[in-house]
């Protein structure tokens, strides 16, 4: 199967595109029922970050009419999954936790369907819901197919001061199951080196064979909380490459197909690509799909071949997305030009949806291209507003991206804004530019100085091997440790 990123709800994507018994290894890192809205942080060139927090995805589950319908559908199956969900309902009532479990159940059922009889699945979760998820997994996969509960200590805490009267929370849970333990499944025992100076009993000198890794992993640190991690991309729940490499190496072979249905900024697909596996990644936000696209290209250049399904490829597709989900339309449109989304702020830069940062004439001096995306109606007032914001913010260029063609008066106002002049490139660029989605789909670009410094707009993935065991301190907030 070709390497593929799918944009969409994984339940629909699995049903629509992924054949029965086609996948060798599944890793999933779903939202954890942590009742948080995750923000994605982009650091500004001046070091601040408050202005650039974007809601990446919601991890808040509420019992709704939809949950009731999914529940009714699942319990009519009359199988162990139905029994399990009925028991959860009796025990928990119709609370948020039940809503979360009802969301997870049909997805886990679909994942089992697409797994080969020899396949393995790793479900990454945390202690908030791991005990319920294990029961659900037992119901779906059979308790006899449970292999291990891996405890992953995600950070190295030192000097942490908390007001909370509690143990510091510092581990995730990874539930490892087989599709069918009677089949010949893949498991390559991973080894870690002996500590330096280790001598074999009997005094025969150093033993080069190492020791098998057990089910408590304390040697891999989370880039999401390690403030100085070189892997860190700013995606709030980013997992370390070393973690995914360990799982993929142990439970698959070169050429196997690895699937991550909640793939975020794409750690699984990067690890699978590095280890010569085929891969499928699914995510429900265009923000994640864009991050993955850039991460793959930054990490592997033209060595990686993949396709993206679910992104608008034509004007009617774009129109449909604009109508169904204007928020996702914005993410997608910004991705077309490599811009990073910015949170809507009241005040000076209201109405700005994204920005691109480039290095200006002097070393260390950065300028911004501010972008506004309009899915619907546009008018001359929008161009005037954009010009005002560009001037107030002392930005270099403003770009209005629209579905509709700009009118003549809009073009006149844009043209009257003049130019941004780059001395080092010896060029002038129109200060206000109007681009349509159709032009962008046909390859038209913003007129601006080339981006010379990688990472000025997004934190870019670097081409390097994941390092294990970076001994850095983590900074956990009190909130994270309640
Ligand atoms: C915990 S994050 C995964 C992080 C990932 N392991 C990484 O290293 O970046 C969960 C992801 O699942 C996505 N997601 C949530 N619900 C989804 C759904 N129904 N279908 C597909 N993706 C979904 C979110 O957008 C988010 O990116």
- 293 CA to middle of ligand 1, Å? 15
DSSP state of 116: E
Rounded Cα–Cα distance for residues 280 and 55 (Å)? 24
Cβ 310 vs Cβ 6: under 8 Å: yes
Q: In 3-state terms, the chain is what percent helix, strand and coil (to 5)?
A: 30, 20, 45
pLDDT averaged over every residue in the chain: 86
Q: How many CB atoms lie within 10 A of CB 81?
A: 18
pLDDT score, position 359: 87
- 204 CA to middle of ligand 1, Å? 50
Supply 318's token pair: 């774009």
**76-94: average pLDDT:** 95
91: pLDDT strictly greater than 90: yes
Residue that has been written with the tokens 């089992």 in this structure = 112
pLDDT score, position 236: 76
59: pLDDT strictly greater than 80: no
Any atom of ligand 1 within 6 Å of the Cβ of 231: no
Q: Which residues have C-beta within 8 Å of that of residue 293, sequence separation ≥ 6?
A: 5, 308, 335
pTM: 0.86
From 16, 105, 262, the mutation candidate for ligand 1 (largest count of ligand atoms within 8 A of CB) is: 262
- 264 CA to middle of ligand 1, Å? 5
- Residue-wise pLDDT for 407-422, tens only, equals 999 999 999 999 999 9
Q: How many CB atoms lie within 10 A of CB 281?
A: 30
- Split at pLDDT 50, 70, 90, the class of 459 is low
Domains of the chain: 4-311+463-481 (3.40.50.150), 339-441 (3.40.1350)
**18-31: average pLDDT:** 96
- Split at pLDDT 50, 70, 90, the class of 206 is low
344: pLDDT strictly greater than 90: no
Give 383: exposed, middle or buried? Use CB within 10 Å, 0-12, 13-18, 19+. Answer: buried
Rounded Cα–Cα distance for residues 109 and 131 (Å)? 18
- Residue-wise pLDDT for 103-152, tens only, equals 999 999 999 999 999 999 999 999 999 999 999 999 999 999 999 999 99
């Amino acid at each position: 199967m070709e390497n593929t990123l799918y944009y969409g709800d994984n339940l629909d994507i699995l049903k629509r595109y992924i054949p029965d018994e086609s996948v060798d290894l599944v890793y999933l890192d779903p939202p954890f029922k942590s009742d948080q809205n995750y923000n994605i942080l982009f650091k500004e060139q001046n070091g601040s970050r408050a202005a650039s927090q974007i809601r990446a995805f919601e991890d808040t589950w509420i019992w709704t009419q939809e949950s009731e319908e999914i529940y009714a559908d699942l319990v009519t199956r009359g199988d162990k999954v139905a029994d399990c969900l009925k028991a959860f309902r009796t025990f928990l009532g119709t609370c948020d936790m039940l809503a979360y479990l009802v969301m997870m159940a049909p997805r886990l059922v679909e994942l089992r369907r697409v797994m080969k009889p020899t396949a393995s699945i790793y479900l990454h979760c945390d202690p908030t819901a791991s005990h319920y998820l294990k029961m659900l997994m037992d119901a779906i996969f059979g308790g006899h197919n449970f292999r291990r509960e891996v405890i992953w200590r995600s950070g190295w805490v030192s000097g942490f001061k908390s007001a909370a009267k509690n143990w510091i929370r510092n581990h995730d849970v990874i539930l490892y199951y087989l599709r069918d333990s009677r089949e010949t499944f893949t498991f390559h025992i991973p080894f870690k080196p002996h500590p330096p100076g280790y001598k074999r009993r009997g005094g025969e000198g150093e033993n080069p064979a190492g020791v098998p890794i057990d089910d408590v992993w304390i040697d891999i640190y989370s880039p999401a909380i390690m403030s100085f991690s070189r892997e860190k991309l700013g995606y709030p729940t980013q997992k370390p490459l070393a973690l995914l490499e360990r799982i993929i190496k142990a439970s698959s072979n070169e050429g196997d197909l690895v699937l991550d249905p909640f793939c975020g900024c794409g750690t699984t697909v990067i690890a699978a690509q590095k280890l010569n596996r085929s891969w499928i990644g699914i995510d429900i936000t265009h923000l994640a799909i864009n991050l993955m696209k850039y991460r793959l290209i930054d990490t592997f250049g033209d060595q990686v071949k993949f396709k993206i399904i679910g992104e608008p490829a034509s004007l009617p597709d774009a129109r449909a997305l604009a109508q169904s989900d204007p928020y996702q339309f914005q993410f997608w449109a910004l991705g077309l030009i490599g811009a990073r989304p910015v949170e809507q702020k009241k005040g000076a830069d209201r109405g700005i949806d994204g920005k691109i940062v480039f290095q200006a004439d002097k070393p260390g001096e950065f300028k911004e291209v501010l972008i506004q995306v309009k899915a619907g109606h546009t008018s001359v007032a929008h161009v005037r507003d954009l010009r005002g914001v560009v001037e107030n913010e002392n930005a270099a260029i403003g770009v209005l991206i629209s579905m509709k063609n700009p009118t003549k008066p809009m073009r006149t106002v844009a043209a009257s804004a003049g130019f941004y002049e780059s001395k080092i490139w010896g060029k002038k660029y129109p200060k206000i530019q109007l681009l349509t989605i159709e032009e962008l789909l046909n390859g038209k670009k913003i007129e601006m100085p080339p981006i010379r410094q990688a990472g000025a707009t997004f934190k870019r993935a670097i081409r390097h091997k994941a390092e294990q065991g970076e001994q850095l301190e983590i900074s956990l907030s009190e909130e994270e440790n309640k």
